[in-house]
């Protein structure tokens, strides 16, 4: 079910589920590296920084360590490739037809406090910003599976969870 970030008279439907302070989203990325980059951008993850002191000027700077951690209140379930059609097998277990897979990187994620309430420097809820970016700037994902409805922006599709015919894993 899409969530309305707008009003009843002027709805802004985004492909997330939000209820009682918990946001759930289902996304698909071209690959794992694309997810990593998008997660950093959306602040689902962050790079650990360390302070480095210049020995001559004693000036301190922050330098990335390359260590990526998940932000507080963010729960990520990496699914990876999804089986689209099951294989068929004879009575002895010999494969008759191979299963088919969507090899793109699929992810479920959940935001709870404090992540779901995080705001930018202007007081705008951060997840509202990225959800609306997909709604207003994304395009329909023409490479969706089965009857999925998804909007794609920068190699990341945010999928309307209600249109997934057979979800493989869901948050309870």
Number of domains in the chain: 1
Tell me, what's the pLDDT at 169? 65
pLDDT of residue 73: 97
pLDDT band at residue 155 using 50, 70 and 90 as cut-offs: very high
- Give residue 2's pLDDT: 85
Number of other CB atoms surrounding residue 156 within 10 Å: 25
Residue 170 banded pLDDT, cuts 50, 70, 90: low
Give residue 1's pLDDT: 66
Say yes or no to pLDDT of 167 above 90: no
Residue 128: its H or E element: helix 126-137
Residue 169 lies in a domain: no
**Secondary structure class of 84 (helix, strand, coil):** strand
Question: In degrees rounded to 5, what are phi and psi of residue 151?
Answer: -115, 130
**Whether the bond into 115 is cis, omega within 30 of 0:** no
Confidence of residue 163 (pLDDT cuts 50, 70, 90): confident
Q: What's the CA gap between 99 and 25, in Å, rounded? A: 26
What pLDDT score does 172 carry? 55
- pLDDT tens-digit map of 5-57: 999 999 999 999 999 999 999 999 999 999 999 999 999 999 999 999 999 99
Task: Flag whether 143 is in a domain.
Answer: yes
| Average pLDDT of the segment spanning 141-147 | 86
Identify whether 131 is part of a domain.
yes
Mean pLDDT value across residues 126-155: 91
pLDDT of residue 164: 83
Residue 168 domain-assigned (yes or no): no
Q: For 8-31, give the DSSP string.
A: SSS--EES-EEETTEEEEEEEESS
Q: Which domain holds residue 39?
A: 3-163
Q: Is 170 a domain residue?
A: no
| Residues 58-112 pLDDT 10s | 999 999 999 999 999 999 999 998 888 889 999 999 999 999 999 999 999 999 9
Q: Is residue 172 part of a domain?
A: no
Q: How far apart are CA 166 and CA 84, in angstroms?
A: 10
């Amino acid at each position: 079910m899409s969530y309305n970030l707008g009003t009843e008279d002027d709805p802004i439907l985004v492909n997330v589920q939000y209820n009682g302070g918990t946001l759930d989203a289902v996304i698909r990325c071209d690959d794992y590296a694309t997810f990593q980059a998008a997660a950093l951008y959306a602040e689902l993850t962050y790079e650990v920084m360390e302070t480095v002191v210049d020995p001559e000027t004693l000036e301190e700077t922050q330098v990335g360590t390359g260590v990526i951690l998940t932000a507080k209140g963010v729960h990520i379930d990496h699914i990876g490739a999804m089986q689209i059609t099951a294989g068929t097998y004879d009575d002895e277990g010999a494969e008759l037809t191979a299963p088919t897979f969507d090899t793109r990187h699929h992810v479920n994620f959940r935001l709870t406090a404090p992540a779901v309430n995080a705001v930018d420097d202007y007081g705008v809820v951060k997840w509202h910003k990225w959800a609306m970016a997909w709604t207003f700037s994304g395009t329909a994902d023409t490479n969706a599976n089965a009857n999925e409805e998804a909007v794609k922006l920068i190699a990341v599709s945010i999928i309307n969870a209600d249109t997934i015919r057979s979800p493989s894993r869901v948050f309870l």
